Amino acid sequence: MSQRLKDTFARGKAEGRTLFMPYITGGYPKSFETVPLLLALEAGGADIIELGVPFTDPVADGATIQHANEVAVANGTTFQDCLEFVREARSRGLAAPVLLMGYYNPVLSYGVERAVADAATAGADGFIMVDMPPEEAGDFVALCGRHDLSFVPLIAPTTGDNRMPLATSTADAFLYCVSVTGTTGQRDSLPPELGAFIERVRASSPLPIAIGFGISRREHVEAVGKLADAAIVGSAIIA
């Protein structure tokens, strides 16, 4: 487990506030801008940062983040570049936890064991693998644990009660709850059934919960704060 993540959630709970977790795509809009953006996010109040690893087929993402991925890929941004972004940001004083978010293919292409080891060395705190189901996550979760990194699963509203324990069992720091079925992107409102979904997740795990997908307005963040421990904002920042 990432100690930085654990400490950050503990601090948020002690302060009685919702953590702010922004997302940016590595290498977008230009590679040289990523490290300054990471530092600016922390200076602006980010508690935890998601750094997206560009991929050619980001199926879980809406138009805004898809475009960011396309531009970053066209800029030649690789998994290794994203590690370098983290390494340089740490050398320049970045203290917030950083999670590498994306798809399994870039990690597989880089070499799974090498990817996890190098991520730890660079100063990352864990992985969010969008396309890794819990049934297939065991070896990767164990590998992350050996390097003191966290694996953060995505929990969807469609996750049934019989499958929920397996889905939540892969986490050690917090759970990423997807507010809606479908892709990322800005929305006018949050679904009315979100509260009931979060109650189901809490019944399965005592870990902190972050809510993402469609969190794009102040009132969304305020609503999330009544249900969860962290609010994730991506498309609204990139747009």
- Please give the positions annotated as active site: 50, 61
HSE-up (13 A, CA, CB side) for residue 13: 13
Q: Give me the residues paired with residue 52 across strands.
A: 25, 101
How far, in Å, are 127, 139, 231 from residue 113 at the CA level? 13, 10, 30
Three-class SS state of 129: strand
Q: At what angle do helices 34-43 and 79-91 cross, to 10 degrees?
A: 50
Closest by Cα among 176, 192, 161, 186 to 228: 176
